[in-house]
Structure 1
Amino acid sequence: MSTTTSHTPPESEGRPEDAPEPGGRPGRPIQNEATTEIPVHLLFRDRLGPVTVSLKPAVVARRQDTGEQPLPRRRAPVRRRPLPEVDPELAERPARVLPGAAGVLAGACGITGCLATSWWAGLLPSGAVEALRLPASVGAGFGPAQWAAYAGAGALGWCGFGGLARGRTGGAWVLGLFGRYRGTVRRTGLLWVNPLMRRRRVDVRLRHWRSEAMAAADPDGMALRVVVLVVWRVRDTARALLGVEDHEAYLTECVEAALARVPVEPAGGTRGGATAAGGALTRLVAEETAPVGLEVFSVRPVRVEYAPEVAAVMHRRRIAALDARQRASMLGSVVDSVEDTVTRLTVRGLVELDDYERKALVRDLTVAFCSGRGEPS
């Protein structure tokens, strides 16, 4: 049994692509998407074999002479470059120091050695010899042995007394020898430190800094002047003093950069105000100052005001907005009062009103209530 099919031209030729077909079938609804036509003879095959589905993304190109545009490609999100890392070997570590008693003992030994060398050379006065109850000096005079004894005793005394240092609570010493970091001293009391090391004192207490008026912007882009209060401390003394030239100036620059990126809303706003801005500022500044050994606890705007060039305009705008809100609130309360009054009068049967009388009563009550609320108290 065979069937004969005759090929007739499709009725859709000569008709616009977006026009509906005669059977009520709508035309192609999407005009700007690239499509691929499927031949009709592939839909009605005699043998249905296994169908292979490719998991590779299909490439759909625009059809020529149709005016269709290819699908726009999504751009990859822009990732912010990480902050440069400080030398990983530059990290705080405790320095080797001795108790202050060792320095005092070494200094006393040096002074004693100098006195003994002077007695040996016969340079001590007779009164000092008698007071110290020393035997009579042989008076050997200065020679190489006496000079060597003087040098050794003097060096011992200088190292003993010259290395004494006092550690204070809330402070630390950063030690360096010939340009190399040798450790940090956080101990308190009398200590002995190698006198050849360079000592740099740093304050590690909790500190607060109140800035001057800095430039900022509100969520609408209007210029502001903001004063912030920063609570911070030095967490890593080595990175704070050696990883950056001036860690306090670096903190100031980070706060200014954060204010340029975070919008700050003046007092009385409805978008979170200074609390939301303070949280965002704290996160940004803490992230940028962590590599240099600073720990930022909070960055809070304490005074927010518009810049002088826009202050007058924004003041008038805020007054107008406040007046509009007050008028809207008053109008809403008046409408509620009028509705309640008319409803009670009609429900309780005190008055019988038609449409015209009801409108007149509503008008009179509205005027009366508005006049009463508009009078100064």
Structure 2
Amino acid sequence: MSTTTSRTPEPDGFAEGPVRAARLIQNESTTEIPVHLLFRDEPDQTPVPVETTVVARRYGTGEQPRTRAHGPARPVPGTDPGLTEHPARVLPGAAGVLAGAGGLAGGAVTAWWAGALPALAVRALGLPAQVGAGLGPAQWAAFAGAGALGLVGFGGLARGLTGRAWVLGLFGRYRGTVRRTGLMWVNPLLLRRRVDVRLRHWRGHPMPAADGDGVALRVVTLVVWRVRDTARATLGVEDHEAYLRECVEAALARVPVQPPGGARGGPDAAGEALTRLVAAETAPVGLEVFSVRPVRVEYAPEVAAVMHRRRLAELDARQRASVLGSVVDSVEDTVTRLTLRGLVDLDDYERKVLVKDLTVAFCSGRGETGP
């Protein structure tokens, strides 16, 4: 069957180029789709357009370009920009110490001014004789200012420790995180929450799980994790440690774990799958999970006895198959050697009898002495 291709006449002065085959459907037009939109490893974080036009339409059929409406994207927990960790504004500790010392000095001077400072203290400080103006409105105002300065200076002093962070808030609003170490001054009006940002490990209690056949198991896991975003971990959930435990338990319900003595899969494969699931679940709340490894796997109490008997039966059957295979190999080797060396000349019936007698003898010997 031959096919013909149409040629388009070329204008004068142009050489005839390669001929393209005519389209089978003349009234259809298509639009190219970027390949990177079809094969993406990770979901795009850019806002999804409200409408997307269909790639093709046919002219002359009355069909209009179809549009597909997309609803608003489902919000992911912890993605609010206000809950993203950023450094808080703090001052060196020396500023707080100077402010507190200034408040104390101001209080002493005000007391001297009001004549309330003891004479012994006046002589110790080397001050001139007291004025003795009394406690009037000006003196009370000076006392209030000096006291406020001392409270603000000494009350804002904080000590930053290695591996610990302060999450600061004011009237329910997140104001920043302090990861500095040493003495610093923080606004005393801010609410402080201490967060441990060191690498931590958590050994869980026995949690329910199942193997590939659905047999109930009890699994103890070891989780290595740390707080990556203190704002999300503190304000995004009520208790990030409890949230981590719930995520591990939920992952165990979805991932089959190798039972004791099982040959399918393995602890490494189950650990990798658990790590991926738990890391994906806890990332929106500012937690970074490095590994989730099963450290102890045992059958659930309700099926432990049954599975123990089943395991013993499998071991016994495997041992019998191994013994029978070695006996058959020994009998075959013995009969072959006797025949090749010409020690016996056996017909089919005699060969069968000899094989039977050797098999019984070998099996009896294996049963007495063991494999």
TM-score range normalised by the length of the shorter chain: 0.7 to 0.9
Please give the secondary structure, in 1, of the residue aligned with 2:143: helix
Contact preservation (8 Å) 2:82, 2:174: no
Residues 365/304 of structure 1: CA separation in 2 closer, same or farther (3 Å cut):
same
Tell me which residue corresponds to 1:349: 342
- Which residue of 99, 103, 107 corresponds with 1:106? 99
Provide the identity percentage.
Answer: 80
- Residue 114 of structure 1 aligns with an amino acid whose one-letter code is G
- Report if the CA contact (8 A) 1:233-1:296 is conserved: yes
Q: Choose from 72, 83, 86 the match for 2:79.
A: 86
Q: Look up the match of 2:255.
A: 262
Asked if 1 retains the 8 angstrom alpha-carbon contact of 2:78 and 2:236, the reply is: no
Residue 135 in structure 1 maps to residue 128 in structure 2: yes
Q: Report deviation, 1:84.
A: 4.1
Q: 1:321 pairs with 308, 311, 314, which one? A: 314
Q: Does 2:170 match 1:181? A: no
- Partner residue in 2 for 1:16: none
Task: Kindly provide the amino acid, as one letter, of the partner of residue 236 in structure 1.
Answer: D
Deviations, residues 148-178 of structure 1 (Å, cap 9, x unaligned): 2111111111111101111111110011112
- Residue 88 of structure 1: how far off its partner (Å): 3.0
Q: Kindly tell me: are residues 288 and 125 of structure 1, through their superposed partners in 2, closer, same or farther at Cα, counting changes over 3 Å?
A: same
Number of aligned positions between the proteins: 308
Flag the structure with larger Rg: 1
CA distance in 2, matches of 1:361, 1:96: 96
Report deviation, 1:322: 1.1
Measured after TM superposition, the shift of residue 127 of structure 1 is: 1.2
Measure, in 1, the Cα distance between the counterparts of 2:157 and 2:26. 77
In the alignment, is the contact (CA less than 8 A) between 1:87 and 1:243 conserved in 2? no
Q: Would the aligned equivalents of 1:215 and 1:224 in 2 still touch at CA under 8 Å? A: yes
1:105 is displaced (CA, Å) by 1.1
Q: Secondary structure at the match of 2:84?
A: coil
Alignment partner, residue 162 of structure 2: 169
Q: Is the 8 A contact 1:107 1:159 kept in 2?
A: yes
User: Which has the higher mean CA deviation after the structures are superposed, 342-351 or 217-226?
Assistant: 342-351
- 2:83 partner SS: coil
Residue 372 of structure 1, CA deviation: 2.0
1: distance between equivalents of 2:342 and 2:180? 91
Query: Is the 8 Å Cα contact of residues 83 and 288 (structure 1) preserved in structure 2?
Result: no
Tell me if the contact between 2:92 and 2:184 (Cα under 8 Å) persists in the aligned partners.
Answer: yes
Residue 261 of structure 1: SS of its match in structure 2? coil
Deviation at 1:186, TM superposition (A): 0.8
SS of alignment partner, residue 216 of structure 1: strand
Across the aligned residues of Structure 1 and Structure 2, the Cα RMSD in angstroms comes to 2.3
| Residue deviations 1:219-248 (CA, integer Å, cap 9, x gap) | 111111111111111011010001111101
2:294 maps to what in 1?
301
The TM-score, its normalising length taken from structure 2, stands at: 0.78
Q: Which AA in structure 2 matches 1:220?
A: D
Of 113, 117, 134, the residue aligned with 1:120 is 113
- In the alignment, does 2:339 pair up with 1:332? no
**Quick check: 1:156 aligned with 2:149?**
yes
Structure 1 segments unaligned to the other structure (5+ residues): 1-47, 57-80
Q: Does 1:231 align with 2:224?
A: yes
Residue number in structure 2 paired with 1:193: 186
Aligned to 2:199: 206
What secondary structure sits across from 2:253 in the alignment? helix
Secondary structure at the residue paired with 2:82?
A: coil
**1:329 is aligned with what amino acid?**
S
Which amino acid in 2 is paired with 1:278?
Answer: G
Unaligned runs of at least 5 residues, structure 2: 7-21, 28-73
Worse overlay, 358-367 or 109-118: 358-367
| C-alpha distance in 2 between matches for 1:54 and 1:365 | 81
Query: Normalization by structure 1: what TM-score?
Result: 0.77
| Amino acid of the structure 1 residue aligned with 2:131 | V
